[in-house]
Structure 1
Amino acid sequence: MICGGSSGSKNLGSIETQPIHLVLNCSEAHLQAVLGSKEQVLWSQAIHVPGRAMKYIAPVIKSGLDFLELNPSQLSGISCVEGPGSFTGIRMIFAHAMGMACSAQIPMGKISYFEALIHVPGRLLHSPAWIFIHSRRGQVYGMGYYLPSLSPIGNPANMHLTKVRDIMNNYQKEKIHVLGSGVRKNPEIFNSDHINVLPEIWDTPCPQTLLYLSFKSDQSNKIQLPEYLRPSDAEENLQK
């Protein structure tokens, strides 16, 4: 399972006959780009660019297309991870993807970051699991799932750490799994015997997961919008 760096395969057969999707994720510090068919990842790259993704997105996309000797018009679909997460990173990948999709008439879809993160560990574990993604100081984006059914526990939300503590206290009589950048940044909340903190490797979705969810997503020529779950700091300042 490829979880970082870059990877590619040119044993493609007749690539012209394969529906190929491009998937982009920049919800947090890693910029991920994946190209592949339903059957396999054909090329992928992940680079750590916290707060610096904008100047790398176009070169990374071009690198993958060049490796596979493809033009954007040969893509069957483009998907973006919709968030929640970094406002700038998410906006930038959506802008690049929509530019490509509109100019080449490529259908576009989007993927929930929560769904991408829970996709693999959620099938290996039992008991409830919660994902907490760093939002800003004192806040996280949270989403819970029943495992292994992957049924959601309520709706995703931006929440204060006091709410996170309340959620963790509600599970004192049963085991609970947690993962995500919000867990790493606030470890004191999850220091309890009934809480299983999953390894950090699960905090970034693998290329195969992103590709699978892209082909599963609803692709259309309509404008796609990110999922922010809260106003940006700039938007909140304008309201004051």
Structure 2
Amino acid sequence: MTYADSSLTLVLNGAEARLQIVCGHGTELVFAQEWFTPRHGMQVLVPALLDALHRMGLTLASIGRIAVVRGPGSFTGLRLVLSTALGLSLPAGLPMAGLGYMDALAADAAALRPCDNIWCITHARRGLVHMQGFTSRYNGPVCALPRASGAEFSARTEENTLVPLCPPISATLEEAAQRIITHGGDTVLTGSGVRKNSDFFAEYLIDAAVLPPRFDHPAPETLLTLAHAAAYGHEPVEPLYIRPCDAEENLDSIASAKGLDPAAARAELQRLTRS
């Protein structure tokens, strides 16, 4: 059976600045493309998808279902992939599934670090992060990776079971560190929020193990594995926002700068977004 003869799974991720397109048959990767596109994802996503399908001798009709990362993450990036997934699925009646971004980061981390607390911390904006904790459980062979303090820790490479320690939340750096310290246990840190605030976490969580930059975003194979196990349906995937977008939080100043009444602008926003 060729790929053109069977339905493929398409996975889209725009939770952070790295835009990811993954396509596979079951858990077998067919192709994956990634771009660092902080501001140009809209111009890249659909043309890149069509080009990749063409190069593989495929068309949109080859896609049988779509999984999309629903958050938490960039308001603009999430809306881009969610609306694209919906636009592709509706005409063809394709089922969709939502994937958690923190789950994807944790699944990648757990392939290296067993049996302890994995804290996924992503950049939200200056001084603010998204975070979620997980525990992974399995046994296997070990290798060595550096801790924040420069020491090494043992890491394992077999499959695991992930158990969330808490739901995804938004927190200041101080709140994030305190939550991790309070929870206790051997700790692994991963994600863009750790990288962008490396000095802070190295000072306050000196014994925590920090995964290399490669783990700041999920591997295509990880996204495809999660998509393969996801539950699909025909309802639109709901975004996971855990804080208002910057424009909403700054609506009063934006409205005033444009000569509008802030109260009227806020009332209009509520009217337009009312379900």
Q: Do both proteins adopt the same fold according to a TM-score greater than 0.5, normalized to the shorter chain?
A: yes
After TM superposition, list the pairs within 5 Å mapping 1:78-89 onto structure 2.
78-89=66-77
Structure 1 runs of 4+ aligned residues shifted over 4 Å read none
Structure 1 residue 190 corresponds to structure 2 residue 201: yes
User: In the alignment, what sits opposite 1:4?
Assistant: none
Q: CA deviation at 1:171?
A: 5.6
Once the two structures are overlaid, the 10-residue window that deviates more, 51-60 or 187-196, is 187-196
Structure 1 gap segments, 5+ residues each: 1-12
* Alignment check: 8 A CA contact 2:6 2:62 kept: no
Structure 1 residue 134 corresponds to structure 2 residue 146: no
CA RMSD of aligned residues (A): 1.7
* Alignment check: 8 A CA contact 1:73 1:105 kept: no
User: In the alignment, what sits opposite 1:44?
Assistant: 32
Structure 1 residue 110 corresponds to structure 2 residue 98: yes
Structure 1 residue 153 corresponds to structure 2 residue 153: no
Q: Give the aligned residue type for 1:176.
A: T
Size of the aligned set, in residue pairs, is 227
Q: CA deviation at 1:75?
A: 1.2
Structure 1 residue 18 corresponds to structure 2 residue 6: yes
TM-score, with normalisation over the residues of structure 1? 0.88
- Greater relative CO, 1 or 2 (CA 8 Å, sep 6+): 1
Q: CA deviation at 1:208?
A: 1.0
After TM superposition, list the pairs within 5 Å mapping 1:195-206 onto structure 2.
195-206=208-219
CA distance in 1, matches of 2:53, 2:4: 13
> In the alignment, which of 15, 23, 29 is matched to residue 35 of structure 1?
23
What is the percent sequence identity of the aligned residues? 33
Q: Equivalent residue of 2:67, what SS?
A: strand
Q: Rg: which structure is higher?
A: 2
Structure 1 residue 180 corresponds to structure 2 residue 200: no
Q: Give the aligned residue type for 1:186.
A: N
Q: Equivalent residue of 2:227, what SS?
A: helix
Q: CA deviation at 1:161?
A: 1.5
Deviations 1:139-194 (A, max 9, x none): 1001001122411111110111221121243266x421101010011112321431
Q: Give the aligned residue type for 1:234.
A: A
User: In the alignment, what sits opposite 2:231?
Assistant: 218
Structure 1 residue 232 corresponds to structure 2 residue 232: no
User: In the alignment, what sits opposite 1:9?
Assistant: none
CA distance in 1, matches of 2:209, 2:183: 12
Structure 2 gap segments, 5+ residues each: 138-160, 253-261, 263-275
User: In the alignment, what sits opposite 1:166?
Assistant: 178
